[in-house]
A and B are shown apart, each in its own frame.
Chain A
Amino acid sequence: DMKVTQMPRYLIKRMGENVLLECGQDMSHETMYWYRQDPGLGLQLIYISYDVDSNSEGDIPKGYRVSRKKREHFSLILDSAKTNQTSVYFCASSFENTLYFGAGTRLSVL
């Protein structure tokens, strides 16, 4: 069963703390994505990764960085989190014309 797994599902952090969001997929997909979803807005692309150590900025990369050291694993890092980074973060992977989404991580930055 094809799966994208995100950890943790819920996270509360204080402003200024570092945040690590993890994403794994068991399908050996080359391309993976990090999005954030805010009320009333469509998903916004933060970063896209085409394979190991081949990452590109999306539309809203400021305040975020990513790491992809293994094909099946893609991490999103917030160095010194800000309150406006409170959001739901989705990881996805793609193969040909099919997208697979994780269940999301709900991050609150206080």
Chain B
Amino acid sequence: KTQVEQSPQSLVVRQGENCVLQCNYSVTPDNHLRWFKQDTGKGLVSLTVLVDQKDKTSNGRYSATLDKDAKHSTLHITATLLDDTATYICVVGDRGSALGRLHFGAGTQLIVIP
């Protein structure tokens, strides 16, 4: 059973628009949550990590929230650029160390058009 569900599966936005990606999970325990960006044919690059029960992070045009009570996270991208076209992957870690397991979502494919 998939423990990390991402929505939407794919999304098309115009350059300059904002968008929100969703991640719902059932992983227990949920020590931390990461968002990764994966360009086509490339590896995953970390955007942010959320740790606290109710957490918020900001990294340039990317901002993210985590609510562990709801087991829900969002990734906001403001003023999208063409280079934001990629797959965004939500990952939940069940421990704080490398000994923990990482649970990956299938990703949201974002396409930014001119």
Contact B46 A98 (CB under 8 A): yes
Instruction: Give A71 to B77 CA distance when docked, in angstroms.
Output: 37
B4 contacts A by Cβ under 8 Å: yes
Contact B42 A99 (CB under 8 A): no
A45-B42 contact, Cβ under 8 Å, with A97-B32, A97-B49, A99-B34: no
Instruction: Give A94 to B45 CA distance when docked, in angstroms.
Output: 13
Partner of B43, one of A30, A95, A97, A104: A104
Which chain A positions have C-beta within 8 A of B101?
45
Number of A-B contacts (CB under 8 A): 47
Contact A94 B105 (CB under 8 A): no
Chain A stretch 73-110: residues in CB contact (< 8 A) with chain B: 90, 92, 94-95, 97-99, 101-104
Contact A42 B46 (CB under 8 A): no
Residue of B nearest to A41 (CB): B106
A31-B107 contact, Cβ under 8 Å, with A42-B89, A97-B49, A99-B46: no
A21 contacts B by Cβ under 8 Å: no
Main secondary structure of the interface of A (DSSP, over half): strand
Partner of A102, one of B4, B43, B98: B43
Which chain B positions have C-beta within 8 A of A98?
46
Could you tell me the distance in whole angstroms from the C-beta of B39 to the nearest C-beta in chain A? Answer: 10
Bin the interface of chain A by size.
Answer: 20 to 34
A50 contacts B by Cβ under 8 Å: yes
Contact B104 A97 (CB under 8 A): no
Residue of A nearest to B96 (CB): A97
Instruction: Give A41 to B107 CA distance when docked, in angstroms.
Output: 8
A30-B98 contact, Cβ under 8 Å, with A40-B106, A42-B107: yes
Contact A31 B106 (CB under 8 A): no
Contact A42 B2 (CB under 8 A): yes
Instruction: Give A85 to B43 CA distance when docked, in angstroms.
Output: 19
Instruction: Give A94 to B106 CA distance when docked, in angstroms.
Output: 21
Residue of B nearest to A56 (CB): B99
Contact B49 A90 (CB under 8 A): no
Contacts beyond the supplied A99-B34, A102-B43, A103-B41: 5 A-B pairs with Cβ under 8 Å? A43-B102, A43-B104, A101-B36, A104-B41, A104-B42
